[in-house]
Structure 1
Amino acid sequence: MQNKWQQDQWVRPNLKRYRKLLCLVFFLGVITILCGVGLMFVAGYLISRTATHPYNILVVYVPVLLTRAFGIGRPAFKYLERINSHNWVLKITSSLRKRLYVTLESSALFLSEQFQSGKLLGFLADDIDHLENFYLRTIFPIVVAYLTGIVLLIGLGIVSWPYALVMFVLFVIILVVIPLLSQSIQGATRVRQRELVQDSYQRLTDATFGIADWMISGRETEFVQTVRKQDEPAGKLNRKANLFEWNRDFVVKLLFGLMIMVTIGWAALALTGHQESANYATAFTLGIFPLMDSFGAVPQAAEEGPMYQESLNRLNDLSRQVKPQPVKPEHLPAPQSLQKIHFENVSFHYPKTDTDIIQQVSFTVPAGQSLAIIGPSGVGKTTLLELLTGSLVPTQGQVWFDQLPAHDLQAVADQWFSVLDQQPFLFNTTIMNNVRIGNEQATDDDVKKAIQEVGLADLVNELPDGLETDVSENGVRLSGGQRQRLALARILLQDNPVVVLDEPTVGLDPITEQQLITTINRVLAGKTMIWVTHHLQGLNHVNQIIFLENGHLKMQGTPAELYRTNERYRNLYRMDLGE
């Protein structure tokens, strides 16, 4: 554990960097608690002293002033502690998020090989928040409670060492024994709770990404069941954790009750021999109560420690990962020289998982031909596309672009691949600028020609500002088919040899869908096209179809061959037509 802490690159450097501010916050935290103790102590003395009818008001004048001082000092120091602690947290948060974003940006493609989308988003959402809470819910309450306990024990030792010794034993039970027991018993439960939450987050994210697939295949009920799969076990763990916390807090309160009884017993023996000393009996007893909030938070803070350790380990592992070096662009062939794409016995699974998402897949797509990938949701179609574009590296086999592995093209991927997906993003600018994103060197005539090719010329001519019309954020002023055609015009300007079409017609009405398919086939003739779709109708134009199921190739061939020889394909085709 100590070695891991010394190698930590996330929390430890920030604690060291802002150590002066952190020490100030700890100091203010201790002073705040001591002011609370002092307020109750002096109030107890004042109540007891005034009950004896002091002969002179000056006898209680000093306790009255101290009551005011502690009463004002407690919220004042609390306010200063909150300001400085929030300042410290904001500094730490800024540093942590900057480091995370830089790490992710420099390793984006590498990370896609290590994490599924849902897990990566859960990773982003949870880990930094956990490290922020590591201070707020673990470091601060534990350190402040320990420092306060040390100060009080020193003071009690001066007054009465036997009483201080008994209080030391009770402090150790509350601040050390119970937190360690709580961590050992509840630590694994907390980690498991977090795993279930992350799994639910991953399921929800991945299912939402493919929600159109679920709806098209009529599996809405299965979608809900998939997303809510971990609800019941998570609920059981929550109930178990809540029951343990209730019992633990009850035991802590019993120990504070014992602490009060000990104080009363000690006061009865040591402070009742003289009237002046008897006035302090109430003071010592009432001084115990402010410690409940401070000391009572320590077991909960220790219990959550393993959860923060998991986040810290994962972030440090991420920093230590060795990123693969991409091939230099000057050593790569020209995109126009592509002869074929070949999947050779390709299998893939994410690290720390045993199940292959893709299993022993092989097929070839000659340059200039088209391939349609079909199959139900969650069978690996998107993973196959990521392997094709080199975003993922096969765990077995290889994806070849002629004699070159697909992953080696990452440095020049923008020159090889164009992508048209379900929801192409349009920026809040003009039609001209949105299309020119495909090729910033394109002339106005090139843009106009591309728009003409995709069938948007009439629409543009009808607009008051023509090509200078603002489409608003994400093209909200355009219909779904018009947005897809605008994105298609970008692809024409890019003029890349490989075009990936990931469900581009989802959400369109049948007439618009057929028109878009016709346009795509016309304007992209001669390109190597890879289609991912659920619809079998409209695929008569493709050169080859493969059907994925549970990561395996179940069908492969031309549309005519499959319809003639494969009964399952014929049934799927008829179902797609609604027959």
Structure 2
Amino acid sequence: MRARRLPARRRARARFRTAARVVRAGHSAAQDPPPGVQLGPASRHGSESAAAEGGPAPAERRARLAGSCRDGVMRTSSGPRGTTERPPKRDVDMSQETPSRFRQLFLGNLREVKGRLLFAGLCTLGATAAELLKPWPLKIILDHVILDKPVPRTLRALHGLLAEGKVPLLLEAAAGIVVIALAGGLFSYFQIFITSSIGYKMVYALRRELFTHLQTLSLAFHNRARSGDLLTKIAGDTNTLKDVFADSILKFSSYVLTVVGMLAIMAAIDWKIGLIALATLPFLGYSLLHLYRKTKLSVKTQKKQEGKVASRMSEVLQAVPLVQAFARERYEAEQFDAVTEQTVRESIRVARLEAAATRSSEIITALGTAAAVLFGAFQVLKGRMLPGELVLVVGYLTNMYKPIRQLAKLSTDFSKAMAAAERVSEVLDIEPEITDRPDAVPATGLKGEIEFRDVSFDYGDGKDVLRNVSFSVSPGQRLALVGVSGAGKSTIVSLILRLYEPQRGAILIDGRDIRQYKRASLRRHIGIVLQQSLLFGATIRENIAYGKPKATPEQIEAAARAANAEEFIRELEHGYDTVIGERGATLSGGQRQRIAIARALIRDAPVLILDEPMTGLDGESEAKVREALDRLMAGKTCIVITHDLQSVADADQVLVLDGGGIVDRGTHAELAARSGRYRQLYEAVT
């Protein structure tokens, strides 16, 4: 009795431990909140759920829980108005907490094509039936035409043909060979066509989902990730999956059906021969499974190394001018050799495992075939089996072991596919750090009033890049951010664009926390010109219209004129339809900046961010860019990051940043007149 009660006790203890973990995990949220705590939407939702399940009433829950918004923000009254506190966020890997996004996408696509899959399955059955019928005409000719053996009751349809003579039966058997081949070919054609189209479409959907998902992940993720490895996942790994979806799954199902059908027919002819053929399968299965596991691990390592190789190649190719200028070609070649050495080693290991899988399956199947043929021959000699039946068995054994040997190759293909799927899942299962709240509203008609309230931020290492930064900019004003490199100027811009989110404090535009706006709509109200303008390898027209995809040709040309870019554009061979090199490599620095200004002009956003727009320009280009910038900034709220203190004379407000904080503020004239950090910087450059 005690032995029967023990599992129940264990289950009870397990339930208790689980409950204890839940209580501990929720303790910080379940304790009494400090006065003034405001519950976020997630807390209200949780309260309603608890009440619906018989838990405490919503009011009671609100009294007990320190509410948090969906993104983890805690609002307290202990700090300045609008202050928010929360732990640093990173893109979170949810693969251990939620069903794989890759699996969800895969199953969702399968459900969409279930009708076509059913038809492909029927075609597979037809092709398998044709494969099983292939040796039967030969058996009939050998047993009942050449050897004149009596026709069994299972082939009663042949009695009428035999009554007419052997020639009609011979002709019918020959015609049967052709008909079976035609039917099998037709079924196989539709089978391959349908499954291939499904496979290609599924992989395209996966590749698109992966590409789209990567664009939603934060800059923190992209700063950590290697671009070459990501490209390998988007192109190489999804291509590996394409081969499986479009080909291998089809072959696997066809091979399995063929093997099962042939075993069944051989068992019907002589159960002992069927047993001999069946006895080889456990040995094959063990061999293939063992090699599959080893291959999968090697393929995963191989893919990881290939990603490193791609990253190294991408890095060097982007820095070719630097490599050539410093004559480091030999060094980079040696570095490339070092990175690729392990990749080659793993590739050879994978090839060796593939060869081992194929050869081991051939040896096992050869032993099985020899045993079955030997036994069948003795049965024929004893008169217990017809010669045609032995031919049938030999044909089935040959055709059965052929797909089994192919399964050995498929096992390595599946190993590669599983490794590729895991690599893709690693990215798809990362939840974006910055997302829109459920109650976020579109940003419409913004005037451009910007306010920072005690904003602090770090990049996850605990070192504040910004610390308690507060300032405000009225609509139409120009704000200049100055300071040494690393003072936090670019971080302020990234926070306004919601490329990152602060750990503490709040950023408001037009009096509303920017987290209450939908990100895409907020960013459409912000124009930006960077120090190194990012251009695509497309036409000039497309690059200018990138800020406003539906812009008319007239609007594009007007923006180019305002940016002082039309003159050099007209001199190009194809004008606005000239395709520039990757990252605008065929244009000079000043020309790239003017295209970027035209792109910002056509957007006509109320907020404009300029990040060192004059850096690296010659005198003539700087004059043209400065004139274009004056047109661009007219009537807009402008935030200018610059080391050129002479260019901030027109700013309504200058903030001097140092060590993550604002150490001085005022107009250019006020700051230059009094002692302080700004005056030191100004005197150093003048």
Q: Do Structure 1 and Structure 2 share a fold, with TM-score over 0.5?
A: yes
User: Is 1:12 aligned with 2:107?
Assistant: yes
Query: Which 10-residue stretch deviates more, 46-55 or 177-186?
Result: 46-55
Tell me the distance in 2 between the aligned counterparts of 1:383 and 1:290: 67
Structure 1 residue 304, shift from structure 2 partner: 3.7
Tell me the distance in 1 between the aligned counterparts of 2:465 and 2:102: 42
Superimposed CA distance per residue, residues 122-158 of structure 1 (whole angstroms, 9 cap, x where no aligned partner): 5543565455444335533332222222212211111
User: Is 1:247 aligned with 2:356?
Assistant: yes
Structure 1 residue 94, shift from structure 2 partner: 6.2
Assess, with a 3 A threshold, how the Cα gap between structure 1 residues 430 and 502 changes in structure 2: closer, same or farther: same
Within 5 A, what are the aligned runs for 1:275-290?
277-290=386-399
Tell me the distance in 2 between the aligned counterparts of 1:227 and 1:326: 47
Consecutive unaligned residues in structure 1, runs of 5 or more:
349-355, 571-579
Q: Which has the higher contact order (CA 8 A, sep 6+)?
A: 1
Is the 8 Å Cα contact of residues 33 and 291 (structure 1) preserved in structure 2?
A: no
Q: Give the AA of the match of 1:257.
A: A
Match of 1:68 in 2: 178
Tell me the distance in 1 between the aligned counterparts of 2:248 and 2:553: 57
Query: Which 10-residue stretch deviates more, 62-71 or 34-43?
Result: 34-43
TM-score, normalising length: structure 1: 0.69
Tell me the distance in 1 between the aligned counterparts of 2:312 and 2:613: 21
Structure 1 residue 43, shift from structure 2 partner: 4.8
User: Is 1:21 aligned with 2:116?
Assistant: yes
Structure 1 residue 235, shift from structure 2 partner: 1.3
Match of 2:641 in 1: 530
- Percent of aligned pairs with the same amino acid: 12
User: Is 1:472 aligned with 2:577?
Assistant: yes
SS in 1 for 2:498: coil
SS in 2 for 1:289: helix
Assess, with a 3 A threshold, how the Cα gap between structure 1 residues 45 and 230 changes in structure 2: closer, same or farther: farther
Q: Give the AA of the match of 1:471.
A: Y
Tell me the distance in 2 between the aligned counterparts of 1:79 and 1:244: 32
Match of 1:338 in 2: 450
Aligned residue pairs, count: 528
Structure 1 residue 391, shift from structure 2 partner: 1.6
Structure 1 residue 15, shift from structure 2 partner: 2.9
Residue of 418, 422, 425 corresponding to 1:306: 418
Match of 2:193 in 1: 83
Q: Give the AA of the match of 2:108.
A: P
Residue of 443, 460, 465 corresponding to 1:361: 465
Structure 1 residue 213, shift from structure 2 partner: 9.1
Q: Which has the larger radius of gyration?
A: 2
Tell me the distance in 1 between the aligned counterparts of 2:380 and 2:180: 24
Residue of 302, 317, 321 corresponding to 2:429: 317
Assess, with a 3 A threshold, how the Cα gap between structure 1 residues 14 and 242 changes in structure 2: closer, same or farther: same
Is the 8 Å Cα contact of residues 10 and 312 (structure 1) preserved in structure 2?
A: no
Tell me the distance in 1 between the aligned counterparts of 2:546 and 2:166: 91
Structure 1 residue 249, shift from structure 2 partner: 0.8
Query: Which 10-residue stretch deviates more, 120-129 or 298-307?
Result: 120-129
Tell me the distance in 2 between the aligned counterparts of 1:111 and 1:405: 19
Structure 1 residue 109, shift from structure 2 partner: 3.9
Tell me the distance in 2 between the aligned counterparts of 1:484 and 1:563: 26
Tell me the distance in 1 between the aligned counterparts of 2:148 and 2:658: 96
Within 5 A, what are the aligned runs for 1:144-183?
144-174=254-284, 176-183=285-292
Q: Give the AA of the match of 2:109.
A: N
Assess, with a 3 A threshold, how the Cα gap between structure 1 residues 185 and 260 changes in structure 2: closer, same or farther: same
Residue of 251, 271, 284 corresponding to 1:141: 251
Query: Which 10-residue stretch deviates more, 254-263 or 432-441?
Result: 432-441
Is the 8 Å Cα contact of residues 456 and 465 (structure 2) preserved in structure 1?
A: yes
Assess, with a 3 A threshold, how the Cα gap between structure 1 residues 433 and 4 changes in structure 2: closer, same or farther: closer
Consecutive unaligned residues in structure 2, runs of 5 or more:
1-95, 150-164, 472-477, 649-653, 662-675
Match of 2:498 in 1: 390
Is the 8 Å Cα contact of residues 456 and 482 (structure 1) preserved in structure 2?
A: yes
Tell me the distance in 1 between the aligned counterparts of 2:562 and 2:326: 36
Tell me the distance in 2 between the aligned counterparts of 1:454 and 1:64: 81
SS in 1 for 2:459: strand
Q: CA RMSD in A?
A: 5.6
Structure 1 residue 241, shift from structure 2 partner: 1.0
Structure 1 residue 47, shift from structure 2 partner: 7.5
Query: Which 10-residue stretch deviates more, 224-233 or 192-201?
Result: 224-233
Is the 8 Å Cα contact of residues 137 and 176 (structure 2) preserved in structure 1?
A: yes
Tell me the distance in 1 between the aligned counterparts of 2:553 and 2:481: 27
SS in 2 for 1:369: strand
Structure 1 residue 250, shift from structure 2 partner: 0.5
Assess, with a 3 A threshold, how the Cα gap between structure 1 residues 95 and 131 changes in structure 2: closer, same or farther: same
TM-score, normalising length: structure 2: 0.60
Q: Give the AA of the match of 2:404.
A: F
Tell me the distance in 2 between the aligned counterparts of 1:25 and 1:431: 43
Is the 8 Å Cα contact of residues 481 and 639 (structure 2) preserved in structure 1?
A: yes
Assess, with a 3 A threshold, how the Cα gap between structure 1 residues 71 and 434 changes in structure 2: closer, same or farther: closer
Match of 1:264 in 2: 373
Is the 8 Å Cα contact of residues 423 and 504 (structure 1) preserved in structure 2?
A: no
Assess, with a 3 A threshold, how the Cα gap between structure 1 residues 453 and 30 changes in structure 2: closer, same or farther: closer
